[in-house]
Structure 1
Amino acid sequence: PTLLEDLKLISRREALLNIHFPRDQNKLARAQFRLKFEELFFIQVQLISKNLLRKKKIKGFPFQHVGKKFNTFYKEYLPFQLTGAQQKVIKEIRADLGSNAQMNRLLQGDVGSGKTIVALMSMLLALDNGYQSCLMAPTEILANQHFNSLKELLGEMDVSIALLTGSVRKSNRKEIHEALEDCSLHILVGTHAVLEHKVQFNNLGLAIIDEQHRFGVAQRSKLWHKNEIPPHILVMTATPIPRTLAMSLYGDLDISVIDELPPGRKPVKTVHRFDTNRLKVFRFLKEEIKKGRQVYVVYPLIKESQALDYKDLMDGYESMVRDFPLPEYQISIVHGKMKSDDKDYEMNRFVKGETQIMVATTVIEVGVNVPNATVMIIESAERFGLSQLHQLRGRVGRGGEQSYCILMTGQKLSSEAKTRLETMTRTNDGFEIAEVDLKLRGPGDLMGTQQSGLLNLKIADIVKDNDILKTARFYAMRVLHEDPDLILEKNHPLRMTYLELIKNKNIWNYIS
């Protein structure tokens, strides 16, 4: 049966007629379904065929055997048992690496779900097959943390690993460059510095990129060209991308999800408090600090109202200093106007535990790992987006202690702000939060401005028409797996439309 019969679709002519001059409600609904399905179907055909083509055309290094390093690590160095989700993801990655195609996988996992272990085990697989790996992070602090946690995990194992960031000295850089070229260096962790032309690998087999949307597509392609055959690529992100969007945005990447927390992690308790309860909140902070814990206090900072926001930040800092006086309490402050050296200095004091309270603007959103920090206070929480709130909450709860996230707001709240706060206090599940966020803000906004032109669909809406999108993806896969080049007679009309669309490029120009 053809698609038309299978889904009982009306003809396009009839659909166009009824969308403008519907005879009745039923005819209108069928017309809408027909046109929405068509639009989403061809987008999926484009994405899936791009993926299939890449698998056929671009050969990757087959990592045939699982060797000594992987097994030794698995048996002797694993700090805790892998969760079911981690095992599943490692299986998926192993299957990719063992095939002849180049891996292009997106690994999503909430903050603290144990992506680093998965990354390390994938790198050991590469090493067992005689290849080097690199792990790229968006900031120096993050790169340092990755480096330290990998070193700690590897312990006494015979694996050489180095760190390359902007602030590594020239003499050390030279050593790293040489070690990379003669293959005595196995794993390189770094920032954008890894992309420099001078950094040449002997044989790069696997590139792992952390926090996807901070690296552009152009930077990803630089990694590709570090080798004759492009390395396998694993992209890790802690920003949950709702499944709806993932299908349309990353339809050409294979997706893995780690959806359970490692044992021993307690979920963060989230509460909403009004400014009038501030004194109570401060009392709570003093109790936590007495137990030897540390606290974040985060203020919003938006370009449009920068001057005011800085004033709020400084007022907040001063009132903290009054309520938490020296020498008993030490307070760090970090904001965008500081020089990056000063920022790093303050951050490091907090990481080392020399200061108990870190007052900051949202610069701490990504990645800093302070297991001892157990309280996150978010000031004017109604001014943050949901995904931002969730990212900030992920900064605490990284140790074994019970952690808290306190959302502070004024009394006046819009209904949307209420929904956001209610969602935060109700759930810790990043995917659920991302879905609510998508409903609140629409798809354009969700991925930030650079991709907001992304889904300029004519009639379909990927949030409201989620079901149609799933159906379209299912049929697109079915058609392409049977007939990847659309050459069968029955797919002739599909091919004609598809070629027309590619020619006009009007809806395809957004695919990265």
Structure 2
Amino acid sequence: MADLSLITPIEYLKGVGPQKADVLKKELQIFTIGDLLQYYPFRYIDRTKFHKIRQLHPDLIGAQVLGRLIQLQEAGEKKAKRLVGIFKDDTGSMELVWFQSVQWLKKSLTVGSAYIIYGKPTEFNGQISITHPEIELYNNQEKKIGNMTMQPVYYSTEKLKKFNLDTKGIQRLQQTALEIVYKNIPETLPDYLLSKHGLIPYQKAILSIHFPQNVNELNAVIRRLKFEELFFIQLRLLRNKQLNTQKYKGHRFDKVGEKFNTFFNSRLPFPLTKAQKRVVREIRIDTNTGAQMNRLVQGDVGSGKTVVALMSMLLAVDNGYQACMMAPTEILATQHYNGLKELLGKNLCTIKLLTGSTTTKERRIIHQELEEGTLDILIGTHALIEDKVKFKNIGFVVIDEQHRFGVEQRAKLWRKNTIPPHMLVMTATPIPRTLAMTLYGDLDISIIDELPAGRKPIKTVHFFENQRLRVFGFMREEITKGRQVYIVYPLIKESEKMDLLNLEAGLESLQKEFPLPNYKISIVHGKMPVKDKDFEMQRFVKGETQIMVATTVIEVGVNVPNASVMVIENSERFGLSQLHQLRGRVGRGAEQSFCILMSGNKLSKEGRRRLETMVQTNDGFEIAEVDLELRGPGDISGTQQSGVLDMKIADLAKDQQILAEARNSVIEIFSQDPTLQAPENQILVNYLNQRSPAILWDKIS
């Protein structure tokens, strides 16, 4: 036992063994004693507080009461047999009920004695009771009343419980582990950081997260562990960023040439906003440093990211390089291609489209022109990363809606040249600042936070099902003005489990309200063949149909400036980010646009908050903050594949201040000791090398 340490396999801990170890590994990813100690409680039972009986109510998760057992008797027969006790304090009385161990409890409990009980209160016919309370004899000679601690509660599963690894079982293992390895738990942060931020030592934190004595101690422990978790995430991300600039040379774009200037002076359809100018300037500076650029551009729907991307690609072409833009869907890639082609005109530079639908003959021509260097800009889908696609000299890559691509897919574009091309990553999904700092902490971030002049904010309203006739009337008014309407449904076919209006049922009622030949309706959903989907989309784009009935397939990639109304059915079922994306499909022309959120009459608290947020603001970043608060980071698009959000204790929605402190500390450390050579920083190097052995600190110059 004495030789056990944090890296000892969990099966060697007393009370575990091979079978329990196997279930701990499979259910909780606990492989070592260190992993066990980092399996933190998700809540605590505060046994330092006592309730009076008159204060008890069913909303309490649990309550501890000091009182006297004044009566104890059996009730019911056979399977319904139970033991019922009457428990009294100076404010009233309540029932205690046990269905198990009845005979043993009858012998061990004494009527007239004082006890401390703990359990969840329930109410039946106005009478408060607790079923299967924890109960211990009160000894007023002892200094301590009851447990007097914060009892940890751990998540468990049915499989774990079969091996007696419920919350009590896990608590026992934590106690055994701490008794053995406590003295050998090493510190993970330098003394100067502990002192500066007022953090308790790691050893004390690990003990107290499992067995805190009171709420104040627990708060100090949680702050220490959150800081550490966020600090090391930032240390890894900012080290990667440092590596990129030191290790990867970049193509130097040292001139702003004829194509860029011609486009800026003659082809721009509208003046750039201040935000667009700022981002173009940031990209120009980055691409002239001789280091590879890795920049994320966040901009709300319609903020003009595509124009910024085009100007950046023209910068590359002016400097003798090729550029490409990768989009997640054919619809979006085709839309980008058509839009960029129109902006460029005939003679500015050569541009082509490569998708899964491109014919073999067209592919051969594209491949040849790319290798010869006569093709300047290539727009496409995943087809761009195929091995057959070879560039003569790729210098700039734009990735649109990047959260839809995996890391490996992006890396394939890096390898298309000996010196990696500059990377511009774009997203129309606003990301809260805390999430961006954690997900994309190794990228430079630019934000386009204003809309082009002349764009009118979309008016958003919320209607209940019983107001549907008003909505139909409004749709008719807009169609009469020559506008078009989207109607989006969450489902294609009726679900037995969810009472939702679905596309098929909705289509029937629409066809009655908007009959042929006066009205024509397009239908688009994810299960349609691509050709049929494109045909229906094109009918709507050309104005041949007035109403587009769709599922969320139109969330990204449809640009119809004439569409002025977006109706979202069962809007309470959509996430905030998705609602915002859908709303962004309208408001693309000069006319006033509207988003109508339809919902059932019964709304959950969270559903109501989402719809109220949508009505109150068009600001995507404000919406993203509420979305993060409601859903947590794990559910926001793309974060699961990032690999950095496997957090054990920190919460990005609540810990913005701690994250900022942690990131600023890392920036300060790197500014004073870029390669972590200082003796006091060796503790950080050791920590990272244990967890990230691929980082070769000593080889960075």
TM-score range, shorter chain: over 0.9
Cα distance, 1:495 vs. partner? 2.4
Deviation digits for residues 225-279 of structure 1 (CA, Å, limit 9, x no counterpart):
1111111111111111111111111111211111110101011000000111111
The structure 2 residue matched to 1:335, chosen from 492, 505, 525, is 525
Distance 1:20 1:181, change over 3 A: closer
Question: Counterpart of 2:475?
Answer: 285
Give ranges in structure 2 of 5+ residues lacking alignment: 1-190, 696-701
Distance 1:303 1:138, change over 3 A: farther
In 2, Cα distance between the equivalents of 1:154 and 1:455?
Answer: 41
Deviation digits for residues 380-403 of structure 1 (CA, Å, limit 9, x no counterpart):
111111111001000000011100
In 1, Cα distance between the equivalents of 2:496 and 2:351?
Answer: 42
Moved over 6 A (4+): 306-311
Question: Counterpart of 1:510?
Answer: none
More strand by share: 2
TM-score (structure 2 length as normaliser): 0.69
- Aligned with 1:189: secondary structure? strand
Question: Counterpart of 2:247?
Answer: 57
The structure 2 residue matched to 1:81, chosen from 261, 267, 271, is 271
- Aligned with 1:257: secondary structure? strand
Q: Does 1:390 align with 2:580?
A: yes
In 2, Cα distance between the equivalents of 1:496 and 1:26?
Answer: 31
Q: Any residues of structure 2 matched to 1:79-228 within 5 Å, and which? A: 79-228=269-418
Instruction: Kindly provide the amino acid, as one letter, of the partner of residue 366 in structure 1.
Output: V
The structure 1 residue matched to 2:608, chosen from 402, 405, 418, is 418
Residue range with higher mean Cα deviation, 97-106 or 488-497: 488-497
Cα distance, 1:196 vs. partner? 1.9
Aligned 8 A contact 1:65 1:129 in 2 = yes
Cα distance, 1:310 vs. partner? 9.4
Instruction: Give the number of the structure whose alpha-carbon radius of gyration is greater.
Output: 2
Instruction: Kindly provide the amino acid, as one letter, of the partner of residue 220 in structure 1.
Output: R
Aligned 8 A contact 2:371 2:392 in 1 = yes
Cα distance, 1:289 vs. partner? 0.4
Q: Any residues of structure 2 matched to 1:237-256 within 5 Å, and which? A: 237-256=427-446
In 1, Cα distance between the equivalents of 2:311 and 2:199?
Answer: 48
- Aligned with 1:98: secondary structure? coil
In 2, Cα distance between the equivalents of 1:57 and 1:306?
Answer: 56
Distance 1:7 1:449, change over 3 A: closer
Aligned 8 A contact 2:327 2:401 in 1 = yes
More helix by share: 1
In 2, Cα distance between the equivalents of 1:136 and 1:380?
Answer: 33
The structure 2 residue matched to 1:462, chosen from 642, 652, 662, is 652
Cα distance, 1:106 vs. partner? 1.1
Question: Counterpart of 2:625?
Answer: 435
In 2, Cα distance between the equivalents of 1:162 and 1:445?
Answer: 36
Q: Any residues of structure 2 matched to 1:4-83 within 5 Å, and which? A: 4-22=194-212, 24-83=214-273
In 2, Cα distance between the equivalents of 1:490 and 1:349?
Answer: 67
Cα distance, 1:29 vs. partner? 2.7
Higher relative contact order (CA 8 A, sep 6+): 1
In 2, Cα distance between the equivalents of 1:315 and 1:340?
Answer: 23
Residue range with higher mean Cα deviation, 441-450 or 185-194: 441-450
Give ranges in structure 1 of 5+ residues lacking alignment: 506-512
Percent same amino acid among aligned pairs? Answer: 64
Residue range with higher mean Cα deviation, 21-30 or 246-255: 21-30
Question: Counterpart of 1:509?
Answer: none
The structure 2 residue matched to 1:447, chosen from 624, 628, 637, is 637
- Aligned with 2:426: secondary structure? strand
Question: Counterpart of 2:423?
Answer: 233
In 1, Cα distance between the equivalents of 2:217 and 2:601?
Answer: 48
Distance 1:311 1:6, change over 3 A: closer
In 1, Cα distance between the equivalents of 2:446 and 2:556?
Answer: 21
Aligned 8 A contact 1:444 1:451 in 2 = no
In 1, Cα distance between the equivalents of 2:642 and 2:663?
Answer: 22
Distance 1:108 1:302, change over 3 A: farther
Distance 1:230 1:247, change over 3 A: same
Residue range with higher mean Cα deviation, 8-17 or 49-58: 8-17
In 2, Cα distance between the equivalents of 1:392 and 1:369?
Answer: 12
